[in-house]
Amino acid sequence: MKRVWMAFALALSLTSQFACSQTIFIVRHGEKIDESRDPPLSLKGKQRALNLAMMLRDAEIKKVYVTEFQRTQMTAAPSAESRQLVTTQYAAKESLNFGKSLLTADANTLVVGHSNTLLDILKGLGITDVKPVADDEYDRLFVVTLNKNASPSYTLLRY
């Protein structure tokens, strides 16, 4: 009988731990067509956006955040549309504060940013051991786990 209660307590603990965690997927926008101020995605960037949507199709994303620039919006569009979600804009220049606001996330979230904003978003989440994103890197996917009972953790993937 004692083993049954211990197993029940362990299962309850694991269930509550997972119920208290959210995952935030943070990516840079896909490849852009040129170096102008607000360029659209290139064909390669559009394909990367589709790949991202396919990769995250089972991630149960409920919120999608983009900056005011069309390249982030175009990168997030396939993921948002596949879930019938509306994207929410945040100001690129306020990335650190935006990152801090994500600490209270209550759902799995996709955030699309820029090479010069990803580190600020991660810093806002309390993650500081990340190397800068180079101007020619578009394939990083940061998977940040927020757990109410522990510090945020992350995994870096490439897609």
At residue 148, the pLDDT reads 85
CA atoms within a 13 Å half-sphere pointing along the CA-CB vector of 69: 21
Q: Which of 101, 112, 105, 103 is nearest to 79 (CA)?
A: 112
Q: What are 139's two structure tokens? A: 């394939």
At residue 12, the pLDDT reads 36
Q: What is the mean pLDDT of each run of 10 residues along the chain (159 residues)?
A: 41 43 97 97 98 98 98 98 98 98 96 98 97 96 94 95
- Range of the structural domain that residue 59 is part of: 22-158
> Which CATH number is 82's domain given?
3.40.50.1240
Residue 12 inside a domain? The answer is no
Q: How far apart are CA 141 and CA 39, in angstroms?
A: 22
Residue 43 inside a domain? The answer is yes
Q: Which of 154, 156, 126, 152 is nearest to 139 (CA)?
A: 156
Unique residue bearing structure tokens 């067509």: 33
- Total domains in the chain come to 1
Please answer whether residues 152 and 143 qualify as being in contact, where contact means their C-beta atoms are separated by less than 8 angstroms.
Answer: no
Residue 81 inside a domain? The answer is yes
Q: What are 149's two structure tokens? A: 């009972």
Residue 30 inside a domain? The answer is yes
pTM of the model: 0.87
